[in-house]
Amino acid sequence: MKNVVFVAPLFRETTNRYVRAFADLPGVRLGVISQEPAVMIPKDLRDRVHAHYQVANAMEGADIGHACKALQRSMGPIDALLGALEQLTIPLAQARAMAGIPGMSIAVAQNFRDKATMKDVLRNAGVPVARHQRVTSAADLWSFVAEVGFPVVVKPPDGLGAAATWRLESPEDANAALSRFQPSPSDPFQAEEFVVGQENTCETVTIRGQPVWHSGTHYLPGPLEVLENPWMQYCVLLPREADDPDFTSFHPVNTAALSALGMQTGLSHMEWFFRKGGKSVVSEVGARPPGAMIMPLMQHAHQVDMVARWAELMVFERFDPPTRKLAAGVAFFRGQGLGRVVALHGLDKAQEEVGSLVVDRKLPVIGQPKASGYEGEGWAIVRHERTDVVKDALKKLISTVRVELG
Ligand SMILES: Nc1ncnc2c1ncn2[C@@H]1O[C@H](COP(=O)(O)OP(=O)(O)O)[C@@H](O)[C@H]1O
Ligand SMILES: [Mg+2]
């Protein structure tokens, strides 16, 4: 029996899916750490959670560490401490160190979480990355701009969901960024040369340092472009062709990057720029399951429960590599303007044209507030044997369905 502890800060639907996967995994005794009390654990799960510990802040390494020590008194030694959120990467590593739990170390976690450290490690290992600078003063930014020229991209060193990522085109933009970020040695930001290329992802399963499985998606278009153009609705496409050389030719770069960063066992989510005829460039890597609905896309394309597979991988270092059977894609519905969702347009037409391909959806609800991220208020997943059919369906969905805010 393995003692596994999962950190679920709040019992949200997406998080519960992970809790359920560990609870259902044979040979596992599950402990859960959360900010919410045990009564918030979904009823059907409660009797499968062996132990629960509530903390004040489930994103804090020290809180998680103390909770683990307390759980160890009732459960015995913990074999694995896990969580699915990007922001938990370092806190989980800190808690492992405090409570003597095996798994990703603090040093490796930092490689994955700090964008400047990550790019330094990758560059030193010969992995192609954008030129970058950790900006601690106005002078740092100006000298970087003098070196690489406009445009440059700036972002917080531990950014998420493209929040606060900006493209700077001019000295005015640079001044605006400096007054907004107020960089200092204790509060730096990351500046990067602007890379032009198709933005893709590469999801990798690694076991004891060896890559054993890959999947990948196209962002249509890249998140920054979506952020810069509020009228755009965004899609992610997972093509049917697992052997597409545009993806497979990147795998050696992906392997070199993960090995330089210290990936041992896990599922990682890399963002990279494909440059036709040129060297592809690694953008960033998360040592956690992907967001942007890529877990469900992988599930539909490979016809397996990816969350359950991830749980098994993390606890038993076992992964039965699934073959890709279909193409899958997600279209995000994003309202324009401000306020709340007041109407949905084009649903009937979309239903008529591509409804038969839709396998899952979460439609925006009237009255729902405008979403904070670029992904918008709802989504639909389509799937088919042919990649071009999925691609066309995504195009139809985002050009037909309109979310009206007001
Ligand atoms: N150097 C770059 N060149 C061009 N676009 C970039 C660059 N860095 C980031 N971007 C764009 O900004 C988005 C967000 O940046 P990213 O580093 O992925 O931060 P986050 O952790 O918030 O996802 C990326 O998905 C990409 O579209
Ligand atoms: Mg990113």
> Roughly what angle, to the nearest 10 degrees, separates helices 61-75 and 89-99?
50
Angle at 215 between CA 289 and CA 162, to 5 degrees: 50
> Domain holding 404: CATH number?
3.30.470.20
Q: Is the CB of 195 under 6 A from ligand 1?
A: yes
Radius of gyration of the chain (CA): 22
> Domain holding 71: CATH number?
3.40.50.20
pLDDT interval class at 292 (50, 70, 90): confident
Task: For residues 173-188, give the mean pLDDT.
Answer: 94
In the prediction, which pLDDT does 29 show? 97
Read off the pTM.
0.95
With residue 85 as reference, give the H or E element that holds it: none
Say yes or no to pLDDT of 42 above 80. yes
pLDDT digits (tens, 9 = 90+) for 107-161: 999 999 998 899 999 999 999 999 999 999 999 999 999 999 999 999 988 877 7
37 is in which domain, residue-wise? Answer: 2-103
Do residues 188 and 134 lie in contact, with contact meaning Cβ atoms separated by under 8 Å?
Answer: yes
- Domain annotation covers residue 110: no
- Domain annotation covers residue 99: yes
- Check whether residue 404 and residue 310 sit in a common domain: no
Q: Among the three residues 303, 325, 347, which one is the final residue of a domain in this structure?
A: 325
Task: For residues 356-375, give the mean pLDDT.
Answer: 95
- Check whether residue 308 and residue 338 sit in a common domain: no
For residue 225, which atom of ligand 1 is closest to its CA?
Answer: 27
Q: Is the CB of 377 under 6 A from ligand 1?
A: no
Say yes or no to pLDDT of 192 above 90. yes
* 402 to 174, 232, 377, 389: CA distances (angstroms): 35, 11, 11, 21
> Which mutation among 283, 284, 288 tests ligand 1's pocket best, with the greatest number of atoms within 8 A of CB?
283
- Check whether residue 220 and residue 174 sit in a common domain: no
> How many angstroms is it from 270 CA to the middle of ligand 2?
8
> How many angstroms is it from 299 CA to the middle of ligand 1?
25
- Number of domain units in the chain: 4
Distance CA 394, CA 385 (A): 14
> Domain holding 136: CATH number?
3.30.1490.20
- Domain annotation covers residue 331: yes
> How many angstroms is it from 160 CA to the middle of ligand 2?
6
* 204 to 60, 92, 122, 269: CA distances (angstroms): 27, 21, 17, 7
Distance CA 173, CA 175 (A): 5
Output the DSSP codes for 339-355.
Answer: SBEEEEESHHHHHHHHG
> How many angstroms is it from 74 CA to the middle of ligand 2?
39
